[in-house]
Amino acid sequence: EVQLVESGGGLVKPGGSLRLSCAASGFTFSSYSMHWVRQAPGKGLEWVSSISGSASDIYYADSVKGRFTISRDNAKNSLDLQMDSLRAEDTAVYYCARDSSPVRIFGLIQDYFDFWGRGTLVTVSS
Amino acid sequence: SSELTQDPAVSVALGQTVRITCQGDSLRSYYASWYQQKPGQAPVLVIYGKNNRPSGIPDRFSGSNSGNTASLTITGAQAEDEADYYCNSRDSTTDHWMFGGGTKLTVL
């Protein structure tokens, strides 16, 4: 059974740092790209960052680029998100999600987030 | 920048059919995937690809794609389908992922 469990959330002051982790189990972690997705209180889902299985490809949303760093440890089946220079607008529940792996079907690419963790709450406030 | 557009809210009578749409240029390259989210819970994948349901998702959920528009259809909506629904795809130019703004479905 695929399981993703986030940890590391909490209360932090503006300008501070926090490191989130996602513990993965039930699948060959190194074979899958992984994502961080966040949801501010009462708002919609926002993609934050992605990392390929080998960590060779990394992407960030413009809203976090230069402040957040995604990484993974395939030996420990762990995904991390280092968040620096935090702002009030970074307050959200942060989810890790597994990528299904892209497949081209009938001319379009099929790719999706097939498993999600329960999330961890990050609150940025003075 | 590329984005996905959804109607903020839709309502449907119990047992009737409802369609939730998602528009965006990225859908000309990537299939949309659809996620259901109930209050206080993590999103759950309900439709992916051309029209595929993960194990455990009722067959009243279906999807379709045409040009820059993807649709999620619930045929015979149930009370438990009341939730927020989000579409998702990827920008083939930037490789960034994106979500639609979400559609709040009310079952009357």
Asked if pLDDT for residue B101 goes beyond 80, the answer is yes
Asked if pLDDT for residue B61 goes beyond 70, the answer is yes
Test the B interface: residue of A4, A43, A45 with most B CBs within 10 Å: A45
pLDDT at A66: 97
Nearest chain B CA: its distance from A39 CA (Å) = 10
Asked if pLDDT for residue B1 goes beyond 60, the answer is no
* Positive or negative torsion for Cα A69, A72, A73, A77: positive
Q: Which of A83, A98, A85 is nearest to A52 (CA)?
A: A98
The model's pLDDT over B35-49, given as tens digits with 9 standing for 90+, comes to 999 999 999 999 999
Q: Which of B9, B27, B29 is nearest to B18 (CA)?
A: B9
Nearest chain B CA: its distance from A86 CA (Å) = 21
* Positive or negative torsion for Cα A92, A12, A80, B26: positive
User: Residues with Cβ < 8 Å from B81, sequence gap 6 or more?
Assistant: B36, B60, B74, B105, B107
A47, A62 Cβ separation under 8 angstroms: no
Q: Which residues of A touch B (CB under 8 A)?
A: 35, 37, 44-47, 50, 57, 59, 61-62, 95, 100, 105-106, 108-114, 116-119
A28, A12 Cβ separation under 8 angstroms: no
User: Which SS3 state, helix, strand or coil, does residue B63 take?
Assistant: strand
CB spacing of A95 vs B43 below 8 angstroms: yes
Percent of chain A having pLDDT more than 70? 100
